[in-house]
Structure 1
Amino acid sequence: MRAYREAVRRLAEAKGFVPERRPLLEEAFDFLTSSPQPFLVLNAPTGYGKTLLSFALALRSLTDASLFDRVIHVLPMRSIIEDIQRTAEEAFGFSRTKMMGSSGEFMHLFPLNVTTADTFTWDLMKLNTKKRHRVKAGREFGYDYLTQASILTSLIIFDEAHFLLEDESMATAFDAVVNFLTSQGVPIVVMTATLSEGHRKFFRRYAGKYGYDFKVLSPNEEDPFVKRELEKDISIEFERGDPLMFIKPGKRNALIVNTVDRAVELYDRAVSDPDIGFERDRILLIHGRMTPSHKKSIIGRLQRLGKDDFLLIGTQAVEAGVDFSADVMVTDRAPINSLLQRFGRLARHAGDRTGKAVVITDAPAGPYPLEKVEKTLGLITEGSIHPRVPSTYEEIVTAVHGSSPSSVNRLINKGLKGKLLGLMSDPSKRAIHVLGEVERLVANGTPIMRDFLVPLSVGDETVLISPKKLLELYSGGLVKVKGVKFEIKTLKDAYRVAKAVALDENVEIVFTGDYDPERGIA
């Protein structure tokens, strides 16, 4: 436990807090450093400090690499990565971020490597996306075997894994990844606050197939964190109508809605209403169609406000990766896992005592499946759950997302999974073969991951947008597409551009409008 205690000390010094015991993380660390082939599912709530485990295991790998040479922390989205990377650099100075367009590193060789699920999957398939042009030209293999080998000698942590299991565009690739890693005996940790029984059985099946020591850990009511959180007064109410009606001036408010357009519309109304109850500089907007530097500046403003009153209006981008505490959370209706992520920002910090959530039951459900949204609202009643005590919501998560692996399997494209698994496991398939197969799949309209998102250049930064948004911006004269010889008149044309980007053709999409310093691309 020496490395664990050292990680706690360094983290406390860097962040300036008095550490509180986390028996669950101690048990997890002991299990992962004593079992010859561990597979751990860590079901801990938001705010528990699960990332400490990554730091501690990375420190352990520096002095004892008998079980794993390093740690690779895999996250479903970029927004969460930046906070972990910043903390790792401040406290330990030994992490490396690896994601599309962010790093020249071709292997995972640092004690702690933080990466996105997309980049991790490409690396496991032996395809270094930074080298695609040279691979295609036959000039090199792009470190294919070496990159994959750096993964197979690591301990892999899948953080917020429910995002990958519930995302139709990622579920197939993630299934192939777990299948291949377990076939190679790689130690695995799955961390999430909202894992259903069906998800647990999905992982248990692979662990059993390949002889892993499988364990599921959740905090009990004697855990210091749970005992502290149970003392907080957190209430959940259900209302209909305008979300702005339920904010509380003088309090820290978060208003989280399901779409960018809805967030911008509410923001515009809030800043133009003299009776809203907040100073203009305390009304903030954050969503996924902002540049990274813009989002970073908003988060900085939010953190500087601290315990002062504010009104933060945002989308799902706030669910994970934005560390703040609110007194009041007004949210559109959504599935249980998304609601729990949002509720997790209520009274988040140790000194907070009360929090109130208001769910708008007549809000648009999209982009979420209506069936899961309605089932969630039918199961939650006022006072029935506590967002940071898993025992109060685990049965609801299972009821919404399923109690058997079939809830995951229905999202899996078995043909695509077989192809991806073959590319990972066949040593005769080098980077050039992988690239060729990926190009054929994409050309046939099969998205491998993330459903053909399009990188939009905004100055020297990039914002990922959907083909639908590309068509909208192009039709409004706000986008110039370089490298294609056709006009973008229909959604089909926009998908042609997205496929060209996915195939790494010489295409550039440039935002030509005036970037709004408040609203981003809205």
Structure 2
Amino acid sequence: MNDEGSISSAYDDFCRSRNWFPRRLISEGLKELEMQLGNGKPVLLLLDLPTSYGKTTITVSLAKRAIEGNSFFSRIIHVLPMRSIADQLGKEVVSCLKQENENGEFERKVAIQHLGLQESPYFAKKVVITTLDTFVLNFFKAPVKEFSRVLDERGTHFDFPRAQIYSAFVIFDEFHLFSKLGTGTEDAKAVSKSLTSVLSAIKSLCLAGVPVIVMTATMPSIMKKLLVKKLGEYGITIIEKIYSKGDDQAFEEDRRSRTINFHKIQRDTVPELCERFLREGKKVLCTFNTVRDAVYCFNELKHLDPFLIHGKLPEGIRKKRVDEISSGENMEENTPNLAVTTQVVESGVNLSFDVLITASCPADRLMQRSGRVAREKGAHLGEVYIVEDSKYASFGPYNQSICKKTLDLVIEKQQINRDIIDEVYSGESIEVDRSLWEVLSWLDNFVLLDSANVDRALEFYKGFTDSFGIVTGFMESKVPSAERREFAVGLSEAEAKRVLKLRKKVVRENEIINLDKDESCLRTLLGAPSLSLELQLQGYEGIALDEFDPEIGYVWLED
């Protein structure tokens, strides 16, 4: 085997070219993965490594190797749970590859692909950064570029994106966010369509000999056990590289000098704390569980010129904000003095604050948020302030008892780690949707199942992922213009139905259609199991929204 084209050497060589020490666990994991693949064994590499360990370097190094050519894979596909993380990672990869090739050839082969940014809808470029929603549709024969044809049960070119995936090296990152663990009601069982779909795809890829990595920093043990159990049923070997104390002395020397203190506070103290820390020259991150709470805090702190980012910003504004926190030369330049956010900064955002003020959340989410504190090399002290549940610091989508248990344990033990995560989730369980698992396996295995079969499955399960039912909301005044999509936001099915019931307006191309006198159509849309699918079936792009300040984003007044 030519070592210059190997998987393991790609990472080691890249690190040395930058005068970095390759991380031992990553190097070992890639070598073992390569060996198993060379022996024709179905295998998965699981990297459960802490934040700041350098997992992103894997993608950059493999991207370079994909562009240069090798005998293992033709492209790298990196799958993430959220658009905002995909956008930032894409910019990081492009920035790194610029340094490898002066004429720009490398960076032109990188694409960010999701519903808001379509640079390689069929996954044809050498480096594709995408979201789980887009990946799952392309993999299970519903290509995003031809989705309307899927719904019309017409033929599609689904084999093309599937061929790109089956010849790729696929990385599933921030894997812990693919489940519904810690969300919803007090029901102990969390059945996730997203987790079912991603595990089904991983199973198929591993059995076909595709190199696959699952990466996480905070995966609860019950989620890992499900992963091991489901893949083990098909004889897939899992190479586990899970960080433990003493595994990497160089990494620990840097982190040993860091201290994170945890505090419990009331919501009304937040403005005063922010003002005080800013006077002391510290950088502050305020993270909330809902857009409403984040915007409320932003308005409270307007006199301090905060940076605001959340999931209900119009697409054009969101891209601009992501650019602002990823275009600097280093972490210090990219980090705002004061940022107000929702969960979008939990993962994959390369920022370092001195202070985190956060609404109460599950332990794995808190560990991710805390990873944005004292992250930069040389930072020694970080402070985390957890706000008890209140009107403007609510639990949001998270399980109330899980959040309270997390808060109590973290304040008592003054730390957040895997042991606390597992203690918080003790007694919980997580499962795949067995029916969906079987259907997805059939779609992948049987070549004669086509768009018509996919359409019926999508309608029956209301999509293959938990966030499938995203409905596009257009600011009404922008609909007639070519830039209407720059002022569009994504709404959940429940949010979209509330708006549609109140405003009764849908959008088709450059036209707003008032359904006030078409009660039959309105009833059909509101009564549809999946509003997003029904809108597309009837030829509508989305629904019309009231005017809102695009710099602040869309907030439902009753939230």
The equivalent of 1:345 in structure 2 is 372
2:452 — aligned with what? Answer: 432
Alignment of 1:212-231 (within 5 A): 212-219=236-243, 220-221=245-246, 222-231=248-257
Residue 370 in structure 1 maps to residue 400 in structure 2: yes
Structure 2 residue matching 1:97: 3-state secondary structure: strand
**Alignment match, 1:275:** none
Which residue number corresponds to residue 453 of structure 1? 470
- What is the CA–CA distance in structure 1 between the aligned matches of 2:370 and 2:549, rounded to whole Å? 29
Quick one: distance in 2 between partners of 1:308 and 1:114? Answer: 23
Task: Report the equivalent of 2:436.
Answer: 416
Residues 205 and 69 of structure 1: is their aligned pair in 2 closer, same or farther, counting only changes over 3 Å? farther
Structure 2 residue runs without a partner (length 5+): 1-7, 98-106, 182-191, 476-483
Is 1:381 aligned with 2:411? yes
- Equivalence for 1:30: 31
Between 309-318 and 506-515, the greater mean CA deviation after superposition: 506-515
Deviation at 1:398, TM superposition (A): 2.0
1:1-150 equivalences under 5 Å are: 1-8=8-15, 12=18, 19-36=20-37, 37=41, 38-61=43-66, 65-92=70-97, 93=107, 94-100=109-115, 102-103=117-118, 105-134=120-149, 141-150=155-164
Deviation at 1:414, TM superposition (A): 1.8
293-302 vs 74-83, which deviates more? 293-302
1:316 aligns with 2:343: yes
Distance 1:233 1:361 in 2: 23
TM-score, structure 2 as length reference: 0.79
Q: Residues 119-518 of structure 1 correspond to what in structure 2 (within 5 A)?
A: 119-134=134-149, 141-166=155-180, 168-219=192-243, 220-221=245-246, 222-242=248-268, 243-247=270-274, 248-250=277-279, 251-271=282-302, 278=304, 282-301=305-324, 306=333, 310-363=337-390, 364-381=394-411, 384-385=414-415, 393-402=417-426, 407-409=429-431, 412-442=432-462, 448-450=465-467, 452-458=469-475, 459-461=484-486, 462-474=488-500, 480-482=506-508, 485-486=518-519, 493=526, 498-501=531-534, 503-511=536-544, 513-518=546-551
In the aligned structure 2, how far is the partner of 1:478 from the partner of 1:207? 46
Structure 1 residue 59, shift from structure 2 partner: 3.3
Distance 1:423 1:314, change over 3 A: same
Spell out, residue by residue over 1:188-217, the C-alpha distance to the aligned partner (whole angstroms, 9 max, x if none). Answer: 211011112222222222443333342211
Check the 8 A contact 2:80/2:173 in 1, yes or no.
yes
Give the stretch that moved more between structures: 472-481 or 62-71.
472-481
99-108 or 42-51, which deviates more: 99-108
1: CA distance, partners of 2:61 / 2:36: 16
Distance in 2, Cα, partners of 1:6 & 1:328? 36
Deviation at 1:334, TM superposition (A): 0.3
Taking a change above 3 Å as real, the CA distance of residues 510 and 24 of structure 1, as seen in their structure-2 partners, is same
- Give the Cα–Cα distance (whole angstroms) in 2 for the partners of residues 310 and 138 of structure 1: 51
* Aligned match of 2:184: none
Deviations 1:432-480 (A, max 9, x none): 33224323544xxx77541522112352323211233335545775965
1:227/1:108 Cα in 2 relative to 1: closer, same or farther (>3 Å)? same
Q: Tell whether the 8 Å contact from 2:136 to 2:464 is kept in structure 1 after alignment.
A: no
Tell me by how many angstroms 1:490 deviates. 9.3
Q: Tell me: CA distance 1:489–1:400, structure 2 relative to 1, closer, same or farther (3 Å).
A: farther
Distance in 2, matches of 1:400 and 1:21, equals 34
Superposed displacement of residue 263, structure 1: 1.2
| Cα distance in 2 for residues equivalent to 1:29 and 1:22 | 11
1:408 Cα deviation from its structure 2 partner:
2.2
Q: Equivalents in 2 of 1:478, 1:436: separation in Å?
A: 27
Task: Give me the identity figure in percent.
Answer: 25
Aligned residues of 2:474 and 2:542 also touching (Cα < 8 A): yes
CA change 1:227–1:400 in 2 (3 A) is: same
Q: Which region of structure 1 is more displaced relative to structure 2, 493-502 or 153-162? A: 493-502
1:154 counterpart letter in structure 2: A
CA contact (8 A) 1:169 1:450 kept: no
Q: Contact conserved, 2:193 with 2:466, CA < 8 A, in 1?
A: yes
Runs of 4+ residues deviating >6 angstroms: 487-492
Structural RMSD (CA): 3.2
Aligned to 1:389: none
Aligned letter for 1:313?
A: V
Cα distance in 2 for residues equivalent to 1:486 and 1:267:
39
1:468–1:491 CA contact under 8 A, matched in 2: no
Output the amino acid matched with 1:158.
F
Aligned length: 494
- 2: CA distance between counterparts of 1:154 and 1:376? 39
Q: How big is the shift at 1:379?
A: 2.6
Given that 1:471 and 1:488 are in contact with CA atoms closer than 8 Å, whether structure 2 keeps it comes out as no
How far the C-alpha of 1:79 sits from its partner, in A, is 0.8
Query: 1:30 corresponds to which letter in structure 2?
Result: K
State the Cα distance separating 1:396 from its structure 2 match: 1.8
Output the CA distance in 2 between the equivalents of 1:351 and 1:54.
Answer: 25
Q: C-alpha separation between the residues in 1 aligned to 2:334 and 2:116?
A: 36
Distance 1:52 1:309 in 2: 24
